[in-house]
Amino acid sequence: MPAAVCVFILTLSTLIGVVSGVLSSPTNVQVTSRNLNLILSWDPPADAPSGLIYTTELKSSIGFQKPGCVNITTFQCELSNFGISWYGTYIGRVRALLGEEASAWVESKNITLDKETLISPPSVSLLSVGQTLEVGIKDPEFNISSLRNVYSKVSYNITYWKEGQEEQARTHMNIKQDRVVLDNLDPLTKYCVQVQIITFGNKNPSEPSVVLCERTRDTDNSPVVAAVIACVVIAVAVAVTALVVVKWKSISHFLWPKNSLPRDFEKFLLATPESSVVLITQPKEEIAPVSVVTVEEGSPEGTKESSYSKQLNGTIGDSCLL
Q: What are the residue ranges spanned by the domains of the chain?
A: 3-116, 123-215, 223-255, 274-322
Distances (CA, A) of 67 to 105, 144, 205: 13, 19, 32
pLDDT at residue 228, as a whole number: 67
Torsion sign (Cα): 155, 161, 166, 170:
negative
Residue 45 amino acid letter? P
pLDDT at residue 319, as a whole number: 43
Q: How confident is the model at residue 14 (pLDDT cuts 50, 70, 90)?
A: very low
Condensed to tens digits (0 to 9), the pLDDT of residues 215-236 reads: 999 865 555 556 767 778 888 8
pLDDT at residue 305, as a whole number: 45
- Average pLDDT of 29-47? 95
Calculated CA dihedral for residues 83, 85, 90, 95, nearest 10 degrees: 10
pLDDT at residue 30, as a whole number: 97
Could you tell me what percent of the chain has a pLDDT over 90? 54
pLDDT at residue 271, as a whole number: 63
Condensed to tens digits (0 to 9), the pLDDT of residues 178-212 reads: 999 999 999 999 999 999 999 998 988 999 999 99
pTM above 0.85, yes or no: no
Number of other CB atoms surrounding residue 31 within 10 Å: 22
Fold classified for 3-116: Immunoglobulin-like (2.60.40)
Query: Is residue 96 scored above 90 in pLDDT?
Result: yes
Domains 3-116 and 123-215 alike in fold: yes
User: Average per-residue pLDDT in the chain?
Assistant: 79
- Average pLDDT of 152-160? 95
Query: Is residue 264 scored above 60 in pLDDT?
Result: yes
- Average pLDDT of 246-272? 63
Q: Give exposure, 132-142, as e/b (b: 16+ Cβ within 10 Å).
A: bbebebebbeb
pLDDT at residue 15, as a whole number: 40
The answer to whether domain 123-215 has CATH 2.60.40.10 is yes
